[in-house]
């Protein structure tokens, strides 16, 4: 039985990624492995993201134009989280809006260029 699926993202700089996810997105650092770290876990509200130090796959030049998301995070209150992230200076690639699929959502670009959508049911 599935209990949870955890995304695993590649990054070339674990300390910088951890700082971004902690300071900008409000995650807690669960742990890092080796020194310098080659693997790390962050979590917020009981949900984790894992990071591994590695070269990312080749860039897709149309990623941002086509809004090719790396993750979609279901949340309770899109307005509150959007306001928190705006106060922290997070870079938005799509502002807060009601979508035709009955979701209120926004998209951020993280420190490694990943697109993370955050959405709440209407």
DSSP track, 34-71: TTTTSEEEEEETTEEEEEEESPPPPP-TTTTTTT--SE
Q: Are residues 46 and 17 in the same domain?
A: yes
Q: Which of 55, 73, 91 is the last residue of a domain?
A: 55
Q: Are residues 118 and 75 in the same domain?
A: yes
| Structural domain that includes position 102 | 63-122
Q: For residue 30, how far is the Cα from the chain centroid?
A: 16
Per-residue pLDDT, 58: 76
Q: Are residues 47 and 67 in the same domain?
A: no
Per-residue pLDDT, 55: 80
The sign of the torsion formed by the CA atoms of 51, 57, 63, 64 equals: positive
Q: Are residues 31 and 80 in the same domain?
A: no
Q: Are residues 7 and 50 in the same domain?
A: yes
- Global confidence as pTM: 0.85
Count of domains for the chain: 2
Q: Per residue in 79-88, pLDDT tens?
A: 999 999 999 9
Positions of the chain with pLDDT under 50? none
113: left (phi over 0), alpha (psi -120 to 50) or beta: left
Q: Are residues 69 and 102 in the same domain?
A: yes
What's the CATH code of the domain at 89? 3.10.180.10
What are the backbone angles phi and psi of residue 24, rounded to the nearest 5°?
-90, -45
91 DSSP assignment? P
Per-residue pLDDT, 66: 84
Residue 51 contacts residue 9 (beta carbons within 8 Å): yes
What are the backbone angles phi and psi of residue 86, rounded to the nearest 5°?
-65, -40
């Amino acid at each position: 039985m599935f209990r949870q699926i955890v995304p695993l993202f590649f990054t070339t700089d674990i300390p910088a990624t951890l700082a971004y996810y902690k300071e900008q997105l409000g995650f807690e650092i669960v742990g890092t492995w080796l020194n310098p770290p080659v693997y790390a876990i962050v979590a917020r509200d009981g949900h984790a993201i894992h990071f591994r130090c590695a070269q990312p796959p080749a860039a897709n030049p149309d990623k941002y134009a086509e809004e090719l998301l790396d993750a979609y995070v279901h949340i309770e209150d899109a307005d509150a989280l959007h306001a928190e992230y705006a106060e922290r200076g997070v870079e938005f690639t799509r502002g807060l809006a009601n979508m035709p699929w009955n979701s209120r959502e926004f998209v951020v670009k993280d420190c490694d260029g990943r697109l993370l959508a955050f959405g709440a049911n209407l």
